Amino acid sequence: MWHDVRLIRIIREMRRDVVFFSRSSAACQRVGLRRLSDGLCGALFIVLAGCGTSMSDSVDDGDDPLAPGGSAHGDPANGDPGGGRSMNGANGGSGSSGTFDPVDHVVFIVTPHGGLGHASGLTRGDGNAWSFADALSSLEPYRAQTNIVEGLDAFARHQREEIRPHETRPLLLTGRAGSLGTIDGYTYSIVHGGGPSIDRLIANAREFEPITLRIGDELSNESVRPFMHVAWEDRDQVAPVAIDPKEAAERAFGSLADPPSEIVAFQEGLADRGDPRADESTSWVFEDHMELVRLAFAHDTTNSATIEVGDPWWRAGFAWLTGFDPGNSGYYLLSHTAYANNRPGGGNYDQETLAWEQIQTWFAEQVAGFVRKLSETEYGDGSLLDHTLVVWTADGNPREPSAHRASEVPVVMIGNLGGRLQTGQLIDIEGRDSRYFVDLFRTIATALEVDASNFGDPELVGEPITELLSN
């Protein structure tokens, strides 16, 4: 059998940690050859497929064809089929031959206006005896795989007077304020995200392209748009976001020369969808976005995704769900006039409160359905959920959603990242030093072995939330 060591040296100069997992062009893109042309990527695998060679750029001399004593062909007599690893990834589902090399994935789901449960709270009980409250009861089957962290802030307490209510959303996943901007027609300024946001940090650390998806149309006012976003490419630079699932799927999978059949079927199923910006489209857009993320994770085309559900001025009425029409202000109105501040909103208070609670319950059902599909997706020797962390939070406090402040906000985390996180915990960090979103995200980065030392505002850095980390 033949292999060209000179070719391996060339690739190493381009990227030190290239791993040859399979003969698939999609797998080639997964492992970091996205910077190469499709032609070179395909040609490389044609060469390797023709000689039946699997190679890995490994520090293990026995696996390294360029290391002393290394062999690209391995030692079959000792159970080594060759110096490489096969992958689940874009090679087409789970169960490929050889040793499985899992990728840990994280998806961030952000709902607007404290849209996470009811004002009465997310849980019942405390300690190890807690359970989900009614609004989140659909998540009860996954309680043992869940952590709920209560009391997080996106900004320092002494900044309460400096940061106006509508300014906190861009800080949620970035942990750092960017430049100030102004909103046309308003008397106050807004702050941009100080980026990159945590989803970008996680993806960039492994040289993936993160996915950012949005449910609901953006307002036409260009000056308002920045403060609606949670995903930021860099300081003052909003991350590219896709609203239409067809556009999102093309971005996520369009570069795959030989996409797996279930990705093809998914994209074909999007062809006859309606207007993704319409109120009644919210249901299928949410479902399609989550299915896109599942497929991208299952085939390792990315390791990080964010789903922005609406924004602080979301006008979706949800009449298709609740049977109640709140008028043109939609979700925004409901967040302000139901039990948002634990006081009657007047007028249609009872109807608005019921509609608000129905929407929050529906949000939880969508997340639960997504988690169920992750648990049913084979990935290596287990399920995709075994190597996925679902982080669901809101841009405000569920007990006071109309305040527009990312203060004392809960986070629901489902998944243990291959055993790296302890789960089943209800953690209230109110009053602790590690009370900021920055601390939570640095803790997640620690579990992922991602360097987050420069992430977020240094003033907001406390201590890791050690209860989350496995020993």
For the stretch 156-212, pLDDT in tens is 554 545 555 556 778 889 888 777 765 555 545 567 788 899 999 999 999 999 999
**Domains along the chain?**
5-78 (no CATH), 105-468 (3.40.720)
Mean pLDDT of the chain: 74
Residue 96 bridge partners (DSSP): none
Distance of CA 199 to the CA centre of its chain: 6
Reported as a pLDDT band with limits 50, 70 and 90, residue 86 is very low
Residue of higher predicted confidence among 147 and 34:
147
Residue of higher predicted confidence among 161 and 238:
238
User: Residue 191 and residue 300: Cα distance in Å, rounded?
Assistant: 34
Reported as a pLDDT band with limits 50, 70 and 90, residue 253 is very high
Q: Tokens in use for 471?
A: 């020993």
Q: What is the mean pLDDT of residues 307-316?
A: 81
For the stretch 424-461, pLDDT in tens is 999 988 767 657 888 899 999 999 999 998 888 887 77
| Model pLDDT, residue 75 | 38
User: Residue 108 and residue 136: Cα distance in Å, rounded?
Assistant: 17
Q: What is the mean pLDDT of residues 346-369?
A: 84
Q: Tokens in use for 467?
A: 């209860």
pTM of full prediction above 0.85: no
For the stretch 372-389, pLDDT in tens is 999 999 999 899 999 999
User: Residue 372 and residue 427: Cα distance in Å, rounded?
Assistant: 24
Q: Is the pLDDT of residue 233 over 60?
A: yes
User: Residue 363 and residue 283: Cα distance in Å, rounded?
Assistant: 10
Contact present, 239 and 213 (Cβ < 8 Å): no
**Which residue matches tokens 């979103």?**
437
Q: Is the pLDDT of residue 400 over 50?
A: yes
Contact present, 135 and 410 (Cβ < 8 Å): no
Q: Could you check whether the bond before residue 196 is cis, i.e. omega within 30 degrees of 0?
A: yes
Q: What is the mean pLDDT of residues 25-44?
A: 40
User: Who contacts 286 (Cβ-Cβ below 8 Å, separation ≥6)?
Assistant: 215, 307, 309, 366
